[in-house]
Structure 1
């Protein structure tokens, strides 16, 4: 059942990534689609992993479906890496630098904000 959970999540995560990438596709040389996908994934995974840690009654299959399967295939470090190399190789060093800095700084910030949101939400739930 765990393998099926990862497979199903991965299937839907990959389709979602592809659809968003096509929808956001801007032909100016900057990989905005991948950046938005990865930043969304950072925020969501920060929130989700904190949320499931707090709740503790989430089935492992759900964690694998959503965290490992869906989010793992929705976000993509390999595409980020190749796009970065291509930006520098194609003489777009400014875009490449912005892409790397935004990906790292905003990615870490959004993962942290997702974690904080889960904690804040849990604290509000305790008071009611």
Structure 2
């Protein structure tokens, strides 16, 4: 493994640790209630998607950044913070413990919230930074 690869791996590992501990903290403050929407996971994934939208515009359209910024913040912190696996388990658990409507609302609502959050983060960052303000530019 090359020295550059080790630096990227290190940035991802440190960032991932920060993100995972942050996710644990949110889950601890807002624990899931069996048979109800797991609000902590929804909040975590939606917030993470909003922040990845902000980050990607900042580091690809606004700033020129060090090569380790994207692995540290994007893959590391936000990758460690968000959680598809917990979401999938919670959807499965809701199908076992709740009426069929609630798990379907959570299943599709999370995807809608996540995609909307990414688009909102990108649009807001572009609007605030002035990037992409020419006519014809889209989110």
**Count of aligned residue pairs for this structure pair:** 125
Larger Rg: 2
Q: Of 72, 76, 80, which residue of structure 1 is paired with 2:79?
A: 72
For the aligned residues, what is the CA RMSD? 1.7
Counterparts of residues 81-96 of structure 1 (less than 5 Å): 81-96=88-103
Q: For 2:15, which of 9, 17, 21 is the aligned residue?
A: 9
User: Equivalents in 2 of 1:42, 1:112: separation in Å?
Assistant: 9
**CA offset at residue 37 of structure 1?**
0.3
* Deviating more after overlay: 27-36 vs 107-116: 27-36
Equivalent residues in 2 for 1:1-128 (5 A)?
1-29=7-35, 30-123=37-130
CA apart distance, 1:28: 4.9
Q: Secondary structure at the match of 1:92?
A: coil
Question: Which residues of structure 2 form unaligned runs of 5+?
Answer: 1-6, 134-139
Structure 1: unaligned runs, 5 residues or longer: none
Q: Displacement of 1:98 after TM fit?
A: 1.5
Scaled by the length of structure 2, the TM-score of the pair is 0.83
Instruction: List per-residue Cα deviations over 1:42-74 (Å, max 9, x = no partner).
Output: 111011111111134111211111000000010
Paired with 2:99 and 2:19, the residues of 1 have a C-alpha distance of: 30
